[in-house]
Amino acid sequence: MKKRFLAGSSRAEFLRRHWQKKPLLARAALPHHADAITREQLFELATRDDVESRIVSRSRSRWVVRNGPFRKSELHRMPHRGWTLLVQGVDLALPPATRLREEFAFIPSARLDDVMVSYAAPGGGVGPHFDSYDVFLVQATGTRRWKVSAQRDLELVADAPLKLLRNFRPECEWTVRPGDVLYLPPDWAHDGVALTECITCSVGFRAPPGEELASRFLDFLQDRIEPQARYADPDLEPARRPGRIPRPLMQYGARALGRLRWSAADLAEFIGRYLSEPKANVVFERPARALARASFTRRARVRGVVLAAPSRMLFYGARLFMNGESVKPRKTAARALARLADARELRAPLELDDEAWTLLYEWYLAGYIGFGDR
């Protein structure tokens, strides 16, 4: 029997018909996530300096953006209309947002960005815009009106504090209610305005731009350049044409850059580290009183282990990537620990080899994993 997902589709049907192709509005698709996150919880997160937050407001035709953290009293003094609080990475801080993220676990974890949650007063929104990633917009509380367009004109308003579309031409319009889900592929223009006080969760799936990948890969390759190598010309003679680049210098450059080589394994190593890197503001909580290795193993055997909410774990072949770090254990340990990357947990009772237990203990000490609930 096919497992249903959105609007009665199976996951495979959704991916075949809609993923990166066209929007889907699924009514009452996730009703159990309605009312799961409160305004007060978001306000509390917005006061923290380790959480990225913004307030977007509009006065007549002027948009204003302010970055957090904010004082809670400041948030409670905001007007009754026309503003939005945006909080990034809520899935790393609130269990209901983590559980919402898990609804989309059929999409590779390497694509997951985060769960951004917005609180909007009536009339609040962030203006007509487009995203360069796939997004599921899950309505948690209140009602919001979405206008959507497949327009190719993505010219932006000059000098605006947000990336606002200059010529937004909506083609369809929906009013969403708690539990409704709107999926939008990359580059679809959209504008959401709160009709009532509301909370909307955005589950985003990134696609790293080629320019960024190339830049980061070159950084990765820098380690292969001999740190002490430098051009030398002890036999230099007076230059007759000072503006000409000396041939030996050009030849040196060709030799230095010619040493840069990479293999498929190097590329896999880079991609795995890059995609598993946590965001810059993520801090892992190490155990206050760490258990000794033997005690850890006994407890984990009977309780299982789970990834910490901020942890990003991936694998490729036998190589494992945990929060930007890489390790290649033997096949037995790799196979067992790849299940942790898939399910974000290993359920008890655990029977693992010594190499797998060693890695789990290292990750426990770093705050990357914790114990399950049996």
Q: How far apart are CA 120 and CA 142, in angstroms?
A: 9
Instruction: Give 168-200 pLDDT, tens digit per residue.
Output: 999 999 999 999 999 999 999 999 999 999 999
> Are the beta carbons of 148 and 190 closer than 8 angstroms?
yes
The pLDDT, as a whole number, for residue 3 is 56
Angle at the Cα of 49 from the Cα atoms of 75 and 94, rounded to 5 degrees: 75
- Asked if 33 contacts 97 with a C-beta cutoff of 8 angstroms, the reply is no
Identify which of 229-238, 243-252, 344-353 has the greatest average pLDDT.
Answer: 344-353
For residue 253, the SS3 value is: helix
Q: What is the mean pLDDT of residues 315-340?
A: 96
* pLDDT mean over 357-373: 97
Structure token digits, residue 6: 């959105």
> Which pTM was predicted?
0.89
Q: What distance in Å separates the CA atoms of residue 135 and residue 131, rounded to the nearest whole number?
A: 8
DSSP 104: T
Confidence of residue 49 (pLDDT cuts 50, 70, 90): very high
Does a cis peptide bond (omega within 30 degrees of 0) precede residue 349?
Answer: yes
pLDDT-derived band at 1 (thresholds 50, 70, 90) equals very low
Smallest CA-to-CA distance from 69 within 41, 39, 43 is with: 43
Q: Which two tokens stand for residue 164?
A: 């606002």
CA distance 240 to 222: 35
- In sequence order, the β-bridge partners of residue 60 are none
- 106 against 210, higher pLDDT: 106
Give the span between the Cα atoms of 268 and 275, in whole angstroms.
11
Residues of each domain in the chain carrying CATH 3.40.366.30:
293-371
Q: How confident is the model at residue 226 (pLDDT cuts 50, 70, 90)?
A: low
The proportion of the chain whose per-residue pLDDT surpasses 70, expressed as a percent, equals: 97
Q: What is the CATH number of domain 11-205?
A: 2.60.120.650
Specify the pLDDT at position 260. Answer: 74
Q: Which residue has the higher pLDDT, 116 or 7?
A: 116
Helices and strands of the chain, counted as H and E runs: 10, 17
Per residue in 9-29, pLDDT (tens digit) is 889 999 999 999 999 999 999
Q: For the chain, where do the domains classified as CATH 2.60.120.650 start and end?
A: 11-205
Q: Which letter does DSSP use for residue 146 in this model?
A: E
- pLDDT averaged over every residue in the chain: 93
C-alpha distances out from residue 65 to 35, 56, 82, 117, Å = 27, 5, 13, 16
Q: How far apart are CA 181 and CA 164, in angstroms?
A: 23
Averaged pLDDT, 80-106: 96
Helical ranges in the chain per DSSP H? 11-17, 39-46, 72-76, 95-102, 210-221, 247-258, 264-276, 293-303, 331-343, 354-366
Please tell me the total number of residues recorded for the chain in this structure. Answer: 374
Q: What is the pLDDT of residue 57?
A: 96
Contact 116, 204 (CB under 8 A): yes
The CATH number of the domain covering residues in 293-371? 3.40.366.30
Nearest alpha carbon to residue 154 among 126, 189, 127, 125: 189
Quick check: 114 and 150 in contact, CB under 8 A? no
CA atoms within 13 A on the CB side of 343: 11
- pLDDT tens-digit readout, 146-167: 999 999 999 999 999 999 999 9
**pLDDT at residue 5, rounded to an integer:** 74
pLDDT in tens, 246-287: 898 998 888 877 777 788 888 999 999 999 999 888 999 999
DSSP-derived secondary structure for 340-359: HHHHSEEPSSP---HHHHHH
Listed residue (133, 136, 117) closest to 40, CA to CA: 117
Separation of alpha carbons 340 and 372, rounded Å: 12
Q: What is the pLDDT of residue 228?
A: 57
CA–CA separation, 174 and 188 (whole Å): 15
